[in-house]
Structure 1
Amino acid sequence: MSIRTPQTRTADATASTGRLNRWFGSIVEAAMSPHPVDRYLELIDPMLTWRDLRAQIVRVEHPTPHTVRLQLRPTRQWKGHRAGQFVQLSVVIDGVRHSRCFSPANAAGRDGDIELTIAAHDDGFVSRHLAATARAGDVVGLSQAQGEFTLPESDPRSVVFISGGSGVTPVLSMLRTLLSDDYDGPITFVHYAPTPREAAYRAALASLAAVNPNLDLRCYYTRVDDDHFSEAHLDGVADLVDADVFVCGPGALMDAVSDFHEAAGLHRPLHTEAFTLAAPIAVDPDEPITGELAFLASGATTTNDGRPILDQAESAGLTPESGCRMGICFSCTATKLSGCTRNVLTGELDTEADKQIQLCINAPVGDVDIDI
């Protein structure tokens, strides 16, 4: 015979309340179709959401001439991140929503604010926009954290972090997480920046090294001393042969560290995360229709037949949010994670990844992954 304790009854009541809330929300959303509840709530307060995850910018800093640091306060839907993961931040620019991936630099966890430090590159459309216009009080779109570039489940014997430029953010999150968990193994942190002035976390890293005797900080400046990665930069690292090595940064740095790791015969696998985009693919719009359309959120796939993504999604049995046929434009947007699409109205090709697109006017060209 089971005994129902007060804790059990409380848990049952909580579960029942959760089911009631979800049931009520489903009825409200159905009544407000074709738009979900959040489209109406945002008219009252952009941070008042039922399902959407958003964040409010509570602080903006410019630690270097070419970076912007955002402190974000997420809505209740935020599930936290593991150190090293990334989020998709989305903003509206000239009426079009754009999404980009950035790695939180704060320690892992669910509670508290999110810290993003973003390098505004010359060809960075969204990053330059954020650097120039982001203000405290702005509300941005946010995704849950993703990515496999994370710390191992059990504490490593020794850790080496190697980063270049904006690649510092995921490994800094790992470092802060280890230190907050009182990790006492040897940590070596090697960072490369063009100049000391352009090292966005120079002061923060120095402060951590000053109070953590197990942290060996080594900073090199490529434009000042022409200091690029070399084996000598890891001289004297404790337990290097058994160290977990994490590297994130430009391609040249990644390649150099990978070559060293293989040549040195280090026992542990190399953990990598690239912070450079692949070159755009060349597509001939006159080629025969080929490829597969993958709807990653639902797990469905279909052979590309050339029609707009909305039509193909519905033919595959999916029901993406849409008010297009009722004259409500821009309600059928979703994130294209990879691949090339063609605007059926203009013929324009788009190979940009992690970008919000309209499903009703964009058709896949070859293989396309879409977050539906």
Structure 2
Amino acid sequence: MSLLNPRRLAGPRRFSPLSMFEALATPHGVDRYLELVNPMLTVRELRAEVIAVERPTNDSVRLTLRPTRQWQGFQAGQFVSVSVDINGVRRTRCYSPASSQRRSDGLFELTVKAHPHGLVSQYLHAQARPGMVVGLSQADGTFRLPSPRPDKILLISGGSGITPVMSMLRTLCDEGYRGEIVFLHYAFGPQHVAYLDELQQLAAAHPNVRLALAYTQERSGGDLHGLFQESHLADVAAWYADAHTYLCGPPGLMTAVRAHFEGRDLAERLYTEDFAPAPVAPLNGDVTGATRFGSLATENAGETLLEQAEAAGLSPEHGCRMGICFSCTQVKTSGCVQNIRTGEINSDPDVEVQLCISRAVGDVAINL
């Protein structure tokens, strides 16, 4: 038996000043102490300071943010997770930057619509002010422009879905893109069009950019009227079958455009970003069983596990409620669940599931 210490043979273990500081700061971590001096002085956490606040409409707020040094930027069309503390609880939602990815000052812009039942959007609309610091994630998402850029691009948006495609338009203009661009936006009327003045200015300054406004309620003004229909594309972008089309908007618009492209065998040329939760379709057959969240059991009713937990008085961590940010992920120790977006069934034990897009099929146990 050797009396030599293997760790001694490997040489002395070296600690960086940061790791030693973090060890001394346990259990709170270095950032908890640094934020007492300056909330933007962080080592690990990514945050952003609100530099400017505008409220372009009665139900929206526009934030210009300066991220901490860990920020790696974004590509036009991607999203970030923004976290705020509301009544002592950290809440997270996903928003798409509307600014150009080529913006040179290191800042980026979010426009948030205050939805009637939106906890975070209502909070930001009412409380956002210069100097506020929010939690931030690195950018994510596959909804982005390809490189090299295609020769023709059709951007379609509706309502607050304008933000990721506005980022694409601003980026293309900043890059000096020479191909054809049509920006087709659906809104109730001109007073509901975010960035209306800038859209008109960009179209006037760039001969290759055409702005087409479709008003769904007002019959005067605008280029088109009514909900999406095939003739709209023929009127404003007859070449769309040969272009790349990027779509973001409310469910009705998304469904109609997708159906049209699929019917024309053009689905591979359509790129989409959803910003509304997927509808929960009814299960085949009666809903049975109960879900146990830790020590609390609740009868299944067909809704998502997140909704079921909240109805039982629990407050699991969550963010986007759409299966994007993964902040609601928990371990399913037993039972069967269905993904409401894909219909996929999972009956394996001890696997991670997203509460916001999963529902119980029979008895389920969640490690919450």
- Relative distance call for 1:227 and 1:343 in structure 2 (3 A) is closer
Q: CA deviation at 1:277?
A: 1.5
Aligned match for 1:340, one of 306, 317, 329: 306
Q: Read off the aligned partner of 2:86 and give its amino acid letter.
A: I
- Relative distance call for 1:268 and 1:92 in structure 2 (3 A) is same
Aligned match for 2:63, one of 65, 70, 87: 70
Match status 1:42 vs 2:41: no
Q: Deviations over 1:182-237 (max 9, x none)?
A: 11010010001112111111111111001000001001121213521112222252
2:57 is paired with a residue whose SS is coil
Partner residue in 2 for 1:229: 228
1:46 is paired with a residue whose SS is coil
Q: CA deviation at 1:59?
A: 0.5
Q: How does 1:128-277 map to 2 (within 5 A)?
A: 128-225=122-219, 227-234=226-233, 235-237=235-237, 239-266=239-266, 268-277=268-277
Q: CA deviation at 1:158?
A: 0.6
Partner residue in 2 for 1:368: 353
- Relative distance call for 1:342 and 1:363 in structure 2 (3 A) is farther
CA distance in 2, matches of 1:151, 1:122: 32
Residues 54 and 61 in structure 2, CA contact (< 8 A), matched pair in contact too: yes
Q: CA deviation at 1:93?
A: 0.8
CA distance in 2, matches of 1:351, 1:58: 28
1:69 is paired with a residue whose SS is strand
Q: Deviations over 1:44-96 (max 9, x none)?
A: 11111111111110110011111100000111010000110000001111111
- Provide the aligned C-alpha RMSD in A: 3.3
Q: Deviations over 1:5-46 (max 9, x none)?
A: xxxxxxxxxxxxxxx9x9221111111111110010001111
Aligned match for 2:115, one of 121, 124, 127: 121
Q: CA deviation at 1:349?
A: 6.5
Residues 31 and 43 in structure 2, CA contact (< 8 A), matched pair in contact too: yes
CA distance in 2, matches of 1:147, 1:80: 13
1:118 is paired with a residue whose SS is strand
Q: Deviations over 1:109-167 (max 9, x none)?
A: 48521100000010111101111111111111111001011111221121000000110
Residues 34 and 42 in structure 2, CA contact (< 8 A), matched pair in contact too: yes
Q: How does 1:350-369 map to 2 (within 5 A)?
A: 353-354=319-320, 368-369=353-354
Q: CA deviation at 1:263?
A: 2.8
CA distance in 2, matches of 1:281, 1:96: 31
- Relative distance call for 1:349 and 1:74 in structure 2 (3 A) is closer
**Unpaired segments ≥5 residues, structure 1:** 1-19, 290-304, 309-337
Match status 1:287 vs 2:290: yes
1:140 is paired with a residue whose SS is strand
Residues 84 and 173 in structure 1, CA contact (< 8 A), matched pair in contact too: yes
Q: Read off the aligned partner of 1:102 and give its amino acid letter.
A: Y
Q: CA deviation at 1:342?
A: 8.0
CA distance in 2, matches of 1:238, 1:159: 12
Residues 261 and 267 in structure 2, CA contact (< 8 A), matched pair in contact too: no
Q: How does 1:324-335 map to 2 (within 5 A)?
A: none
Q: Read off the aligned partner of 1:103 and give its amino acid letter.
A: S
Residues 339 and 368 in structure 1, CA contact (< 8 A), matched pair in contact too: no
**Unpaired segments ≥5 residues, structure 2:** 1-13, 220-224, 297-303, 338-351, 356-368
CA distance in 2, matches of 1:339, 1:192: 34
Q: CA deviation at 1:280?
A: 6.7
- Relative distance call for 1:58 and 1:247 in structure 2 (3 A) is same
Q: How does 1:55-66 map to 2 (within 5 A)?
A: 55-66=48-59
CA distance in 2, matches of 1:140, 1:153: 32
- Relative distance call for 1:364 and 1:95 in structure 2 (3 A) is farther
2:210 is paired with a residue whose SS is strand
After TM superposition, the score normalised by the length of structure 2 is 0.74
1:187 is paired with a residue whose SS is strand
CA distance in 2, matches of 1:236, 1:224: 19
Partner residue in 2 for 1:25: 18
CA distance in 2, matches of 1:267, 1:279: 21
Number of matched pairs: 303
Residues 83 and 174 in structure 1, CA contact (< 8 A), matched pair in contact too: yes
